[in-house]
Amino acid sequence: MTLAELLQNRFRADLRHRGAAYIEAERVSLVRVTPENVFGVVVDGVEYQTQLRYQESDIALFCTCDQFARSKSCKHLWATVLTADVQGCVNPAIRPGRLTPFVSREKTAPIRVDDLTIPGETDDSIGSPRSAKRKTATTDVPVRDVRLAPWESKLEDLREEMAVPTRPGKKSQVQERQIFYEIDLAASREAGKLVIQATQRQRRSSGQWGKVKPLKVRS
């Protein structure tokens, strides 16, 4: 038994006639089919969304058109019912009082190694300079010139100065230092902008931390 034979009593003859015309004009497509639902799209000036929902005791129908809102049936739904039959989405064992889920078309195929290989590229070419150049060209992203605020620029200069290696001929000496950045709320309110106080402390030769002292940042 087809779904159309099962549901034809819900549709007037004129709706069935117009719905069949959409099939001939190829204006009906099923966008998703699961055991519980059939989702369709019917082009009738605009796209109307249709849905057939499987329930144990009934097949529920839905459409976004005004005709369905008034009478709970329409030509778009009949076109979707016919398409579901034609595309094999309905179990032929379906009967009144003995409904069955739809035949899902969603299947997950296993991923093969060939699917991950670029067409025309062999295993030997993977990792070659030419291949690497091609991949690099496709992944290069233009870098924007980010303009730093004055205080950010000063902190960046300080970081670079701390990273400068010891000059040749001088005895290498590693001196660990911690820098703290604190927001001065009172000064910030008075100045109407963010004021940051920088302090520092250095580790002594004994391994203990020294006193926290103000950190002067030269402009």
- Taking residues 169-189, report their average pLDDT: 70
- Which DSSP string corresponds to 59-100? EEEEESSHHHHHHS--HHHHHHHHHHHHTT-S-TT-BTTB--
Q: What is the pTM of this model?
A: 0.49
Domain ranges of the chain: 3-86, 174-219
**Whole-number mean pLDDT of the chain?**
78
Per-residue confidence band for 66, with pLDDT thresholds at 50, 70 and 90: very high
- Taking residues 69-94, report their average pLDDT: 94
Largest CA distance in the chain: 101
The pLDDT assigned to 115 comes to 47
Determine the Cα–Cα distance for residues 154 and 144; give it in Å rounded to an integer: 20
- Which DSSP string corresponds to 117-179? SPTT--TTTTTSHHHHHHHHHHH--PPP-PPPPHHHHHHHHHHHHHTPPPPTTSPP----EEE
